[in-house]
């Protein structure tokens, strides 16, 4: 049975074949297509470093229809990260490629190694920005909000404290 996934991609280190982080993401989007059918791709956006990372990130999102179950897709994405040169490193540190399953058409999934929806996506504009451009109506199974609504809540202007 086919499932649909929202996958976020990020990079902030160059690759010997694909060049700058944006090139890494374009190549990764092509590689993900081997796991099913990519039905939507966001533009690649540049974002500020997160945590101890020192370099700016390139971020994107895609929608994938796949026969793979969530754990199998996660294993395939992690294998792809390693093939692109990712090594076990510091949390939020510099990386050639990072792929995360954000949402799944089956709703929620929880295991020792995978939680869907991704636990932090609602607070990350570098995920919600690209994702809301390609799947604005997709609803978060926890909050019930669409990605467009989640993004609007995260990015809305707030009054300055007095």
Active site residues: 86, 95, 98, 100
Of 85, 79, 142, whose CA–CA distance to 115 is shortest? 142
Q: Which residues of 17-120 form beta strands (DSSP E)?
A: 37-41, 45-47, 57-66, 98-104, 109-110, 115-116
Q: What is the number of H-type helices and E-type strands within the chain?
A: 4, 7
Cα–Cα distance, 52 to 60 (Å, whole number): 21
Which residue has tokens 């974002």?
A: 47
Give the HSE-up count for residue 35: Cα atoms under 13 Å, Cβ half-sphere. 28
Which residues touch 136 (CB under 8 Å, ≥6 apart)? 146, 147, 148
Which residue has tokens 């929608």?
A: 63
């Amino acid at each position: 049975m086919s499932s649909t996934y929202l996958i976020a991609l990020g990079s902030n280190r160059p690759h010997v074949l694909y060049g700058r982080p944006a090139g890494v993401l374009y190549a990764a989007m092509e590689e993900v297509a081997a796991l099913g059918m990519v039905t939507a791709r966001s533009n690649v956006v540049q974002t500020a470093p997160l945590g101890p990372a020192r370099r700016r990130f390139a971020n994107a999102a895609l929608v994938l229809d796949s026969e793979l179950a969530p754990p199998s897709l996660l294993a395939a994405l992690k294998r792809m990260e390693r093939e692109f040169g990712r090594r076990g490193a510091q949390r939020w540190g510099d990386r050639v490629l990072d792929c995360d399953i954000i949402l799944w058409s089956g709703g929620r999934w929880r295991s020792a190694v995978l939680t869907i929806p991704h636990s932090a996506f609602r607070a990350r504009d570098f995920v919600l920005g690209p994702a809301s451009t390609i799947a604005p109506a997709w609803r978060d199974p926890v909050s019930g909000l669409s990605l467009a609504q989640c993004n609007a809540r995260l990015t809305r202007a707030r009054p300055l404290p007095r």
